[in-house]
Amino acid sequence: MDNDGCGPGPRPEGGTCRPPERPSPGSLPYEGVWRFTAATVDASVPQARHAVRDLLRRQGVPVSDELVQGLLLIVSELVTNAVKHAALLSPMIAVEVAVGAEWIRVSVEDNHPYRPTALEADHGQTGGRGLLLVREITREGGGVCDVEHTASGGKVIWAALPLKPARMP
């Protein structure tokens, strides 16, 4: 495992990657928790998405392409929201990926205390529906998502989806 699971792949510029928590005995080889930090700037959105995609590949997580695409869209939306709405009070964010035997969870944490809500679709607006999209992707995948306050006064927004291994031809 390269760099304790963090590997040499792309990470947000200036970001760090926390080594994974050590899996318990009897756990699957791809199980673990990985966390990296990034600045709340536009460039962190695609970098976070690529870092998560590369982590899943590097760890050999048996996940379908459809689930990966959903997770990457969720990461993009959550990081975009942090960049757009939390940057003033939170110059850095943390992205975490937790993979278990049956679930995969992605989360984005910032230091802004505002708890966002999913807006209903307004066809006149071009933005503002990121959390609605996250909620729908999560629901369609059989998962759950939520927003929680952190001990430091910020928040963490997360989505967990059932890990459905890719079907072999």
Q: Distances from the Cα of 51 to the Cαs of 5, 11, 117, in angstroms? A: 12, 5, 26
Q: Quick one: which H or E segment has residue 33?
A: strand 32-39
Check residues 28 and 98 and name the one with the higher pLDDT. Answer: 98
The confidence band for 4, taking pLDDT boundaries of 50, 70 and 90, is very low
Q: What is the mean pLDDT of residues 55-74?
A: 94
CA distance 140 to 24: 30
pLDDT in tens, 95-132: 999 999 999 999 999 999 877 765 455 555 545 577 89
In 3D space, the residue among 23, 79, 28 whose CA is nearest the CA of residue 51 turns out to be 79
Q: How far apart are CA 124 and CA 160, in angstroms?
A: 30
Q: What is the pLDDT of residue 131?
A: 86
pLDDT at 114: 78
Res. 7 pLDDT band, cuts 50 70 90: very low
- Report the C-alpha gap between 97 and 138 in whole angstroms: 15
pTM of the shown model: 0.78
Alpha-carbon span 128 to 40, nearest angstrom: 18
| Residue closest to 35 by CA, chosen among 86, 77, 93 | 93
Spell out the long-range contacts of 130-137 with Cβ–Cβ below 8 A and sequence spacing 24 or more. Answer: 130/77, 130/78, 130/80, 130/81, 131/77, 131/81, 131/157, 133/73, 133/77, 134/74, 134/77, 134/78, 134/159, 137/70, 137/73, 137/74
* Cα within 13 Å of Cα(156), Cβ side: 15
What is the token pair recorded at 22?
């050590």
